[in-house]
Structure 1
């Protein structure tokens, strides 16, 4: 319709105007082509930049040791969800790197970078078997570990929080794995819980745990408690009251000389059992006052 109208009207216009209109149209077309080429160039440059940033981020995230992610549930809705949030954007790699760095700085404050260099590979596997998430599987070759993430976690609304917490916990266990069977497991579990506490993932300690002990007048060594949350609270108490950086010093001392109960006394500068008693008293007062 517009083209017909222009064709009918064109002979009625003066020649100069027709020429001007033609020139204007030609100039407009040239500008359009130039603008299109410019837009295409900008998009291409952005694409290249994003690709380069992605490669750089992946390199930085896995620097120091290899980090791989395997999704055995890719053909399920939960597997696709995990792939979207943690595989396609390298989020799982970043979580492992950040968690390992955070835990290493607590456990090895003087040489955390060197400790991470000893790791060869950490593999994150998204699986369906609930029982697999209860432990870390170590490859036959020292320095290679698998972290299992149970697929059911993706069903929760706070799945991002839960996966961060799980990876943080597992990285703490990996960095302490050389002390397994050499140090009381209750202490190591408490150290892992302590790291999670500092990272903001600590579990709530039930009030009746302390109240029950108070009523029964149970006195035991804090590092031998089966409740890892209570052991973690004790380690934090020791750090605040007697020895800043206590967990890191304790870990490094045990790495050098193994475990002996007097190691607590040595680092605290007092009998550790007395600090346990003081810790229990402070927890009871705090909980009764709340």
Structure 2
């Protein structure tokens, strides 16, 4: 049987030429009319092209101003179980990208609820979500090697040790995007961890965000009453929620304060009272709650 190459022509090499009679015009005015129509058509096409390019440019700029670039990477060994699950469950169906967008929108709504106000929004140009080749101390770690560009490093333990992979991934990416959008100008690690936990609590992913929930309490530093220096993120998250209930908009003001630069008055400026007073009030309600073992009957006004 004869083999056919994919590049062989579908028609024979010898083609019989066909003669077609094309009517010609002997009237010069007809030729002028044809040239005029052709010229006008070219002008219209050029104008249409310019308009299309302009609209596309405006649309692209508008879309760029609303978001950031997203890149998904799988740096784990190709034959590893974690790598295969990540590709199958989150890369092949673009779920990883949607997860970044979903969690980002949630964090932005909390930290920047009014984009048209004078409170500037943190600049984020690119977010890379990548699965690492080795287990990390946390499910997610955030790096920023270039200005306005962030890398969320996922630990393979999410796929190897967690019973609910979807919940673990959601919590990890939510925590990562919280760190991306939070200003962090030398703020205490305990405060940043607490703010991340606070946002996770609002997202229903755990934490001490509920005003009546003191289950996250740790050992408060009684010596200086600085409640946000607790090493337990849930304890700090609950304190932050107490401050938000006390004075609405506290979380946004605190985040903006960290943009300017951190000092011990940043929390005080955000809530409008000395740290010792707000910590003393918080500790008083906490002790009262623990002693009565019932929900708080009132909130700070």
Whether TM exceeds 0.5 here: the answer is yes
Equivalences for residues 1-290 of structure 1 within 5 A: 64-73=67-76, 74-111=78-115, 115=121, 118-131=123-136, 133=138, 135-139=141-145, 141-155=146-160, 156-176=162-182, 178-181=183-186, 183-203=187-207, 207=215, 209-210=217-218, 220-240=225-245, 242-256=246-260, 258-288=261-291, 289=293
- Could you give the per-residue CA deviations for residues 174-233 of structure 1, whole angstroms, max 9, x where no partner exists? 222x5242x2222222111111111112336885955x66xx966621122222211111
Residues 128 and 152 in structure 1, CA contact (< 8 A), matched pair in contact too: no
Deviation at 1:238, TM superposition (A): 0.7
Residues 105 and 112 in structure 1, CA contact (< 8 A), matched pair in contact too: no
Residues 198 and 207 in structure 2, CA contact (< 8 A), matched pair in contact too: no
- Could you give the per-residue CA deviations for residues 82-111 of structure 1, whole angstroms, max 9, x where no partner exists? 212111111111111111121122222332
Residues 108 and 251 in structure 1, CA contact (< 8 A), matched pair in contact too: no
C-alpha spacing 1:206/1:248, structure 2 compared with 1 (3 Å): closer
Report the 3-state secondary structure (helix = DSSP H, G, I; strand = E; otherwise coil) of the residue aligned with 1:135: strand
Deviation at 1:115, TM superposition (A): 3.2
Report the 3-state secondary structure (helix = DSSP H, G, I; strand = E; otherwise coil) of the residue aligned with 2:70: strand
Residues 107 and 247 in structure 1, CA contact (< 8 A), matched pair in contact too: yes
2: CA distance between counterparts of 1:228 and 1:143? 26
Q: Which runs of 5+ in 2 are unaligned?
A: 1-62, 295-301
Residues 124 and 149 in structure 1, CA contact (< 8 A), matched pair in contact too: yes
Report the 3-state secondary structure (helix = DSSP H, G, I; strand = E; otherwise coil) of the residue aligned with 2:136: helix
Q: Which runs of 5+ in 1 are unaligned?
A: 1-59
Aligned partner of 2:18 in structure 1 is: none
Deviation at 1:123, TM superposition (A): 0.9
Q: Give the TM-score, by structure 2 length.
A: 0.64
- Could you give the per-residue CA deviations for residues 98-129 of structure 1, whole angstroms, max 9, x where no partner exists? 1112112222233289736x322111111231
Residues 216 and 232 in structure 2, CA contact (< 8 A), matched pair in contact too: no
Larger helix percent: 1
1: CA distance between counterparts of 2:158 and 2:268? 41
C-alpha spacing 1:207/1:233, structure 2 compared with 1 (3 Å): closer
Residues 207 and 216 in structure 2, CA contact (< 8 A), matched pair in contact too: no
